[in-house]
Amino acid sequence: MHPDDLSFANYPVQSDLWGETLTYDEEYRMRHKSGEWVWVRDRSQITARAADGQPLRVTGIHENINERKRVEEALYFSNQRLELAQRSAGAGIWDWDITRQHLDWSRELFLLFGLDPDETEATFDIWHQVLHSDDREIASHRIDQAIADKIPLISEHRVIHPDGQVRWIRALGNTIYDPTGQPLRMAGICIDVTERKQAEEALQKSEALLNDVSEMARVGGWELDVETKQVLWTSETYRIHEIPEGEKIDLPQALLFFDLSQRSTLETALQRCVETGEGFDLELPFTSAQSRHLWTRALGRAVKADGKVVRLTGTFQDITERKQLEERIRQVRGDLLFAVSHDLKSPIQTLRQTQEMLSQLPPAEALARFQEYGEIWRRNLQRLERMINNLVDSQRGEEDHFPLLLAPCDPTELVKRVAEDLTGYALALQIQFDLKLEAVPEGSCDEETLARVVENLLTNAIKFSPQGGRVEVRLGIEGDTLLLEVEDHGAGIPSQEQEQLFQPFQRSRSAQQKGIPGTGLGLYVCRRIVEEHGGTITLTSREGQGTKVTVRLPWRVE
């Protein structure tokens, strides 16, 4: 007998052992004559007793159960391996007897649900309790659908552990039916897919962020299979080309968005990239599927496998706005240079002419004329200074302040003086000033910068007035507000262009078409100066009738 089993079989036939027991049934190992240990089942029974009740005879049988024990042992280790596999895979097994509405769970499935397998019974109530409330209806629906349609069950839903932890479970199952098609059982496994779900969620967020950034930056991606010539585009690339997302594109189709010359440039760059692995960076015009003329920046690089270029990847960026801005800057730069040179030439030419006239006169007469021309020189030098100041002040940011030197000022005399300085310029264009100036008491302002406002407004009005026209200038007081109005009777400005004229380098389309010189800075500088004084400046205009600019300043009488 096996030493480990002696406690089961080594028994004396005594009444204190047997007591009232009529049978004995034990299993233990005995050594076979071959030397091998074999399992036997010993079932014994008292068949005779003495008068005092002591057993006299015991009859029994020994049964060889070695094969059964091997099967039980194999089954035990199989179950152990199964449980180990379930734990390693994060999986649990379930079995639902549909006819009896009985549910069995493996130990691992209890653990997946955060439940103690020794203290919890698998019931439908427990199953519904562990499911996330938002997922109960859909999980039940998928089970019913799998049974009704005789398809495998595939469902992913959340479960909530008693400690509040939320986990994702993937349930897979199949249904067994009787010959009549009635469902008998459904069995399957549940797998913890929380980490995969978290990774998918993080990937979705990352892709959403990438799409948002790509859309804001108007940058799409592309990939070209060198062998098949098939092209893959990201969502933004489809949007840039204005074609439905997902439509299959090959290289010849992609090249059709470019005209012949640009197509040749791009084809050459692609071919060089395939042959040499050299990347490219091109800026090309193209036409979208909606016939819009756009600009793109196409970047590409080669991807190799086993030393051979197998595909090209890159980005496709819509740079139309940048190109339009660059073109606008070139136009503004040209207009600015033309306008500055034109506006500066007038006072410079006046200074040169007077200087040449003086140089040709006898000294005595030149001295007399010098005193006469001194005021002309002073005014023209002031005009030059104001033009230069406009250019300098146009570089100030909106957050930068204009330095003001507040002092008592007579606005009526200021307007008169500026109008006198511009009279020669106005007469040269056959324009008359119509001054309607009230006597306004002195107030506090920066006289130098306010004079620049008046000069800019009068200069604009002169330039946009028809030949032989007039410019009306009105000055007065409304309560505690100084009111200045400058009105011309020229071509007027379209309503959609009026608001932008107070921004730097903005000029009306009609001014550009008619070649009227200007920098587009005058109204911008006026707005900044007026606002620095705490006032407002507005513009009203009707095409064919003229334009009126109104300045309102808080006026503190000294």
- The pLDDT > 70 percentage for the chain reads 79
Asked if residue 520 lies in contact with residue 460, where contact means CB atoms within 8 angstroms, the answer is no
Summarize pLDDT for 96-121 with one digit per residue, the tens: 898 888 888 888 888 888 899 888 88
The single-letter DSSP state of residue 4 is G
Domains by residue range for the chain, with CATH: 3-64 (3.30.450.20), 72-192 (3.30.450.20), 219-318 (3.30.450.20), 388-554 (3.30.565.10)
pTM for this prediction: 0.44
In the sheet that holds 546-554, the strands lie side by side as 432-437, 470-478, 481-488, 546-554, 536-542
- How confident is the model at residue 349, as a pLDDT? 67
Strand partners, 93: 189
- Round to whole Å and give the CA distance between 552 and 554: 7
Q: Which residue has the higher pLDDT, 210 or 432?
A: 432
* Average pLDDT over every residue of 135-154: 93
What is the DSSP secondary-structure string of 491-518?
A: S---HHHHGGGGSTT---HHHHHHT---
Confidence of residue 1 (pLDDT cuts 50, 70, 90): low
pLDDT at residue 391 tops 90:
no
Distance CA 402, CA 232 (A): 55
> Six-digit token pair at 130?
């562990």
The answer to whether residues 174 and 187 touch, using CB atoms and an 8 Å cutoff, is: yes
pLDDT at 82 over 60: no
Which residue matches tokens 């600009």? 295
Q: Containing H/E element for 29? A: strand 23-31
Using DSSP, state whether 137 is helix, strand or coil.
helix
Q: Which helix (H) or strand (E) holds 344?
A: helix 320-359
> Max alpha carbon distance in the chain (Å)?
176
Tokens of 271: 């071919």
**Angle between helical axes of 447-464 and 522-532 (0-180°, round to 10):** 150
110: number of CA atoms within 13 Å, CB side? 15
What pLDDT digit, counting tens, does each position of 496-508 carry?
776 777 766 555 5
> For residue 313, which of 401, 243, 233 has the smallest C-alpha distance?
233
CA distance 54 to 557: 138
Express as a percent the part of the chain with pLDDT over 90: 30
Q: Do 535 and 443 touch, CB atoms closer than 8 A?
A: no
Q: Tokens 């006289």 identify what position?
A: 447
Radius of gyration, alpha carbons of the chain? 49
Task: Enumerate residues 6+ apart whose C-beta is below 8 A from 103.
Answer: 94, 95, 96, 97, 122, 123, 124, 127
Q: Place 154 in a pLDDT band, splitting at 50, 70 and 90.
A: very high
Q: Show Cβ contacts of residue 67 under 8 Å, excluding neighbours closer than 6 positions.
A: none
Q: What is the DSSP letter of 468?
A: T
Task: Identify the pLDDT of residue 408.
Answer: 92
**Residue with the two structure tokens 């509040």:** 164
Q: For residue 9, is pLDDT > 50?
A: no
pLDDT of res. 33: 79
Least trusted range by pLDDT, from 21-25, 204-208, 473-477: 21-25
CA dist 403 and 394 (Å) reads 14
Task: Calculate the dihedral angle through the C-alpha atoms of 496, 501, 503, 507, rounding to the nearest 10 degrees.
Answer: 110
The residue with greater pLDDT, 75 or 141, is 141
Output the DSSP codes for 257-292: TS-HHHHHHHHHHHHHHHHH---EEEEEEEE-TT--
Residue 23 has pLDDT above 70, yes or no: no
Instruction: Report, as an integer, the average pLDDT of 254-274.
Output: 91
